[in-house]
Amino acid sequence: MTVAEAIAALKTRAVPGKAAEMAADHKAPRRYLGTGNPDINDLAQGWRRSLTLDQRLVLAERLWASNIHKARVAAAKLLTQVRIRPDGAVWGLIAGWVPGFDGWAIADHACDAGERRLVADPGRLDEVEGWTTSPVCGHGGRRWSSPCPGPGRTIPHPPIW
């Protein structure tokens, strides 16, 4: 799947007039499609099933690079999965997004994906800790340190470390 095909799929699920609402609500200077999160969930779930991990990583990277709000949400949802092995490249991609967080909505979706990578390797918390005070990470670092749940806090039966 190409990024153009993925964005076209997102556009087909857009609700007329919703893009302007989203732009006013989120206030980040980017393109908005007006696609709802349930539709993005459905699309991302299908893509996760049909693509290899390497293909998902490429698609997620390109969706994020498009700077389209719901494409970035879809990028995060492509990587929101508990069992991914090996997951170093997934963590690297998500961690690379943190300095670019400029709004809570996108940061929340990326944090959901990142939380699962933290559960997989709690040693990554040391890296996250550095983001909380980094001037480079700004909003992203603060997002990870405030209401963003830590590993295991939203899992029904969290592992005991």
Q: What is the DSSP string of 27-95?
A: --SSB---B-HHHHHHHHHHHHHHS-HHHHHHHHHHHHHTTBHHHHHHHHHHT--S--SS-HHHHHHHH
pLDDT bracket for residue 7 (50, 70, 90): very high
Q: What is the separation, in whole angstroms, between the first and last Cα of the chain?
A: 38
Q: Give the C-alpha separation, 156 to 115, whole Å.
A: 14
> Rounded to two decimals, what is the model's pTM?
0.85
Per-chain mean pLDDT for the chain = 85
Residue 161: per-residue pLDDT: 44
Q: Peptide bond before 86: cis, by omega within 30 degrees of 0?
A: yes
Cα-atom radius of gyration of the chain, to the nearest Å?
Answer: 15
**What's the Cα-to-Cα distance from 29 to each of 34, 40, 98, rounded to whole Å?**
15, 21, 17
The neighbour count for residue 93, using CB atoms within 10 Å, is 23
Could you state, in order of their start, the residue ranges of all structural domains in the chain? Answer: 1-73, 79-151
Q: Both tokens of residue 34? A: 């007006």
Mean pLDDT computed over 34-48: 96
pLDDT bracket for residue 145 (50, 70, 90): low
Residue 147: per-residue pLDDT: 38
Q: Is the pLDDT of residue 13 over 60?
A: yes
Q: Is the pLDDT of residue 135 over 90?
A: no
